[in-house]
Structure formats: structure tokens, C-alpha cells
Structure 1
Amino acid sequence: MRLIGLTGGIGTGKTTVSNYLANTYQLPIWDADLYAREAVKPGSPILQSIIQRYGNDILLFDGNLNRQRLASLIFSDSSARTWVEQQIHPFVRHCFVNNIQQLNAKILQNPDRNTPQYADGVLVIPLLFESKMTDLVTEIWVVYSPPEQQYSRLIQREKMISNRILTFEEAQARIQSQMSLEEKCQQADVILYNSSTPEELFKQVDAALQG
């Protein structure tokens, strides 16, 4: 079974790569960010724990988690970030394990199936190393961008999502909250350099997938 662990820093282009793999190669994409959102949906035990720690001010008017407020708390306080991650990461890991087990079951039920041409699945995990989930994948792909592009993309993304402009200090705090890209690249099987055009990035993806 070939399971690709796709990771990188904030704003490096992980979503661009995962969308390309899904649309061009029809690969199953399992996204840690989606599972993390599910973990804190209204009524969930994890959201209740967060409310107990930070109070009802951590919620929006509709009962959903105020992600902007939580982000401002955890990116300025490493102990708060560690606590929140300890609540969410086990749930995310459980989701990935379930997906892998279901895939294994399908393989056992169809032992004569054709071997997938490229891969069985892609696990998109921004905190792949930090959350200690490398054991779930068979190879690690890191998307790398130069720092100046990373900052620019992060600021543009936040403006699109929340119509808010991050300060340089806020962007820096978010980027530096993760393991450095250099450290991630040292542990990668594949490094995708996203510093030029999407077409150049996709060529690297094609080569890595087919190689």
C-alpha cells in the first residue's frame, strides 16, 4: 500500500498540490484540517473542553468555535497551542486510522484487484512531524516555498478567508509555531519546490508520483 504524507509550512501550497492530485489522478485525499474542524463542531466533547478552558467567549453567536479568537490565543502562547493540539490530534489520528483500515478491508475483500497505478491515498497533514503521525504513511512529501512567498500567501489567504489583514508579526508567529521547513525537508522523501508557476510545481508532482 502506498500512502503519501503531504506536508509543508503554512502558505507553501499544500492545497494546490492535493487538489491537483485529486483532480488529475483521482487520488483519495484525506485532510487533517477537515478532521480538525469536525473535532470541534458544536456539541462535540472537544469543543466542550475548549469552552471549559476559555469560556463562552471562544464561541461565535451561532455556537461554532471562533477560530480567529482561538488562533490569536494559541499562536501567542505555546502552552495554549500544545493543550489545544493535545485535544484535537488524537481525534484526527483516529480518522486517518479508520480510513486506512477501511482501505485495508477493501483490499482483503478484493485480493485480485488491480494495483493502483500511482498511490492508494494522500494524507494531508500540516503537522505531520509535530503530531507524530509519520507512522501512518509510506512516504513523505514536503512542499517548500521561500519565506517571502510563504508570508505573502499566508497574508493573502487570511484576507480572503476572514477579510482581515495579518500583521507581519502575526504571520511570523503562525509560521514559527511549526517545525521549520528546513527540518521538514531533511526528513522528506520528496521535496516539491513551489517558488515559480503552478505548472512547474505540477511537473514535480507528476515526476514524484510516477517515479
Structure 2
Amino acid sequence: MTTSANPRPLPTYTNIQPRIIGLTGGISTGKTTVSDYLATVHQLPVFDADIFARDAVKLGSPVLKAISNRYGTGILLDDGNLNRGQLGHIIFSNPAERHWIEQQIHPYVRRRLREGIQKILAPKQPPAKNNGKIQPTPQTPIVLVVPLLFEAKMTDLVTEIWVVYAPRALEIERLIKRDGLAAEQAIARIDSQMSIDEKASLADVVLDNSSTMDHLVQQIDAALLKSSR
């Protein structure tokens, strides 16, 4: 993603209540594009559920042990790490097993997200700049990137919900191109989640990512200026 050489002025955040943005969307609608922009241009603290989910199954973790006990050593690589491709095949082909796997991973992800929020909201010394980067304060909006925000019932962690939207046909097209999947594989992965239209209907902010980056950026900037609900 490219941004202007001259960074746009950062807004002053004065909300009394912490503003916690739950950023979600479809599998390939552009969540990373939006979160990267919020982190780099607006310098907001961003916590990504996908990163915590990977941490949950790292070598030696209780979750990885539970998964290997259930599926056998075939779910592991030669070095003992999780075979993510094999796990993905299970997740996207068997709803019951997907539910079991999510039950193992989601509590850890929720805990890490809560810890991230608490770290930002904890009392600190007066804010200062560190290598040119503004340090977050309890008044700074916090961004939680949670692809399964609705499905995992984590909406209670946030004060507002942003959905990055793209029409289903475009979502499928992007996923095929990004991951090199066959059309039926892409459709199966997208259908394993709540539909993007249903997510959009539950959102406080819908960011239309079916056009240009400039159009998307304008929507992000406008949404940040709104008061949290």
C-alpha cells in the first residue's frame, strides 16, 4: 500500500470513553489494507486476531497438543509445527470440526485482545514521541482486527463495528487470485463464514472496498471523525 509522502494531519482524540473499533469483513475484502492504513497513517494501536490465533497453535502450546491429540501426528510438520494447510482443509470441509478447533483457539485470542486493550487503557506517564511515533493514550482509538468478530461472539469487546465490504463476486475473484484457489474452493471458504452482506447489515460503519484506494481512504478518514456510539 502506498500513501502520500506528506502524512495527513492526525486528528485529536478527546472521547471520554475509550473508542474500540472492531474491524471485520470477508476473507478477501481488504481488512489488512484498512488496518495497515490505520496503523501507519493514523498511528493507531492495532491488535490482530489472526496473529494471536497463530500464537495459540505455536510449537509447544496446549492448543497444538490438543489438536495433535485429536487428529494425530499427520496434522504436524516434520519439525513438530502445525501443518496449516492440513488444518485449513479440515476447517473448510467439516463444520463440526471447525467448531471444535475454534473452541480451542478463540478463548486464547479473546484473552490476548483484552490484554491489548488493557495495556493501552492503563494509566501512563504523559504521552511522548518515540522515534517520531506518537504513543497511544487512553483517548486514542484502539483497533481490533477480528475476521470472525460476529461468528466468535467477540462484539462485546468493541464499542463500534467497521465492516470492510466488497460484493461477493469480487470477494471470490480476489480470493482466487490471492491464494491460487479453484473457484469451488474459494466459494467454500467464503461460505464457511457469515455472509458479507449480513455483516454489513450489523455494522456501524461500512467501508466499500470495491473501487479505488483513494475512495477507501476517504471513507476511513471520515469514519474516524465520527463519535463512537
User: TM-score, structure 2 length as denominator?
Assistant: 0.83
1:63-110, CA deviations, whole angstroms, 9 ceiling, x for partnerless residues? 211111111111010001000000000000000111122222226x76
Q: CA RMSD in A?
A: 2.0
Mapped contact 1:4–1:121 kept (Cα < 8 A): yes
Equivalent position amino acid for 1:149 in 2: L
The aligned counterpart of 1:46 is: 63
Give how far 1:27 is off: 0.5
Equivalent position amino acid for 2:50 in 1: D
Q: Tell me which stretches of 4 or more aligned residues in structure 1 moved more than 3 Å.
A: 114-119
1:17-73, CA deviations, whole angstroms, 9 ceiling, x for partnerless residues? 000001100111100000000000000000000000111111122221111111111
The aligned counterpart of 2:184 is: 169
Give how far 1:11 is off: 0.1
**What is the aligned length?**
202
Q: Which has the higher contact order (CA 8 A, sep 6+)?
A: 1
1:148-182, CA deviations, whole angstroms, 9 ceiling, x for partnerless residues? 21112212221xxxxxx311111111100101111
The aligned counterpart of 2:54 is: 37
- Of 204, 210, 218, the residue aligned with 1:189 is 204
Mapped contact 2:168–2:196 kept (Cα < 8 A): no
Q: Which has the larger helix fraction?
A: 1
Give how far 1:186 is off: 1.3
Equivalent position amino acid for 1:174 in 2: R
- Of 28, 32, 35, the residue aligned with 1:11 is 28
The aligned counterpart of 1:142 is: 163
Mapped contact 2:120–2:136 kept (Cα < 8 A): no
Whole-Å separation in 2 of the counterparts to 1:56 and 1:116: 45
Mapped contact 1:118–1:209 kept (Cα < 8 A): no
Whole-Å separation in 2 of the counterparts to 1:118 and 1:11: 31
For the residue of structure 1 that corresponds to 2:199, the secondary structure is helix
User: TM-score, structure 1 length as denominator?
Assistant: 0.90
Mapped contact 2:44–2:136 kept (Cα < 8 A): no
Whole-Å separation in 2 of the counterparts to 1:147 and 1:7: 15
Give how far 1:9 is off: 0.7
Structure 1 portions without partners, runs of 5+: 159-164
Equivalent position amino acid for 1:168 in 2: A
Equivalent position amino acid for 1:66 in 2: N
Whole-Å separation in 1 of the counterparts to 2:201 and 2:85: 32
Relative distance call for 1:104 and 1:154 in structure 2 (3 A) is same
Mapped contact 1:4–1:119 kept (Cα < 8 A): no
1:120-164, CA deviations, whole angstroms, 9 ceiling, x for partnerless residues? 310000000111111111100001001121112212221xxxxxx
